[in-house]
Amino acid sequence: MVEMTAQSHLDRLKECVASFDADGLVKACREALAAGITPSTLVIDGMAKGMDVVGAKYEAGEYFLSELIMAGETMTAGMKVVEPLLKGGTYQGIGTVAIGTVSGDLHDIGKNILAMLLTAAGFDVIDLGVDVPADRFVQTLRTQKPDILAMSALLTVAIPEMENVIRKIDEAELRPKLKLIVVGGTPLTEDFAKGIGADAYGPTAVAGVKICKEIASKRETIK
């Protein structure tokens, strides 16, 4: 039997995520760890690469919402093996993102997918849930100091609340080191995001992750 190289283990992790093979991913994680590959490497150079494949296929129209959900469930299975080891190690996320659906909106599928994709990409995620009041967003920024705040909404009646949240954040003078993005399809638009003072707009969870990665890479360059 030919011994697997470290790259072979990572490629297998990537393939399991991209093909929604949760059982295979759990087994691959355990075997990779036994081979001496670090938990953080499993996440960043293995499973996250698989999520990149899923995201690319989604944007190309080859995968749809159901595939994103399956990929998220697969990733969760693998993370259950790895997370306990990450907590005791030197692993650090590439940034912290607080996310939440604004007050007046209870939709959570898009938000949950965004949280999962961000975690897979190496971010630490603070998930505030749905129907989040502006004051809670502000309090989270004060106490936990995330690098990025991502707000989502699907209902037209909830859209104005995004502007209210940004106004409260500006009043609290919490914007200097914060990047603020809005994520969601219709009725949100690029022009609306700019008009309320957001730093960026993503029409989908996949687009939202790309924006967060771009923000993180610029922060690293500055450092």
Give the CATH number of domain 6-87; options: 3.40.50.720, 3.40.50.2300, 4.10.91.20, 1.10.1240.10: 1.10.1240.10
Say what the pLDDT of residue 223 is: 43
The average pLDDT across 91-111 equals: 86
Say what the pLDDT of residue 157 is: 86
CA distance 202 to 4: 39
Q: Could you count the other beta carbons within 10 Å of the beta carbon of residue 144?
A: 11
Closest to 70 measured CA to CA, from 25, 17, 14, 109 = 17
pLDDT band at 117 (very low <50, low <70, confident <90, very high): confident
The pLDDT tens digits for 5-20 are 999 999 999 999 999 9
Answer left, alpha or beta for residue 123, where phi above 0 means left and psi between -120 and 50 means alpha.
Answer: beta
The pLDDT tens digits for 78-89 are 988 988 887 655
Share the mean pLDDT of the chain: 89
Say what the pLDDT of residue 220 is: 57
Mention every residue, 6+ apart, whose C-beta is less than 8 A from residue 14: 46, 47, 49, 50, 53
Instruction: State pTM to two decimals.
Output: 0.75
pLDDT band at 222 (very low <50, low <70, confident <90, very high): very low
Say what the pLDDT of residue 19 is: 96
The pLDDT tens digits for 135-160 are 999 999 999 999 999 999 888 888 89
Could you write out the DSSP letters of every residue in 125-184? EEE--SSB-HHHHHHHHHHH--SEEEEE--SGGGHHHHHHHHHHHHHTT--TT-EEEEE-
CA distance 171 to 194: 18
Residue 61: φ, ψ to 5°: 85, 10
Residue 126: φ, ψ to 5°: -105, 105
Say what the pLDDT of residue 88 is: 57
Query: What are the Cα distances from residue 52, in Å, to 43, 115, 118?
Result: 12, 14, 11
State yes or no: pLDDT of 221 exceeds 60. Answer: no
Say what the pLDDT of residue 91 is: 55
Domain boundaries, the chain: 6-87, 96-222
Q: Could you count the other beta carbons within 10 Å of the beta carbon of residue 184?
A: 29
Q: For residues 88 and 198, which has the higher predicted lDDT (pLDDT)?
A: 198
CA distance 213 to 123: 9
The pLDDT tens digits for 40-72 are 889 888 998 898 899 889 889 999 888 988 988
Topology of the domain covering 96-222: Rossmann fold (3.40.50)
Q: In this predicted structure, which of 117-121, 143-147, 180-184, 213-217 has the lowest mean pLDDT?
A: 117-121
Residue 198: φ, ψ to 5°: -70, 155
Query: What are the Cα distances from residue 154, in Å, to 42, 67, 90, 119, 138?
Result: 34, 20, 38, 22, 21
Structure tokens at 78: 């693998």
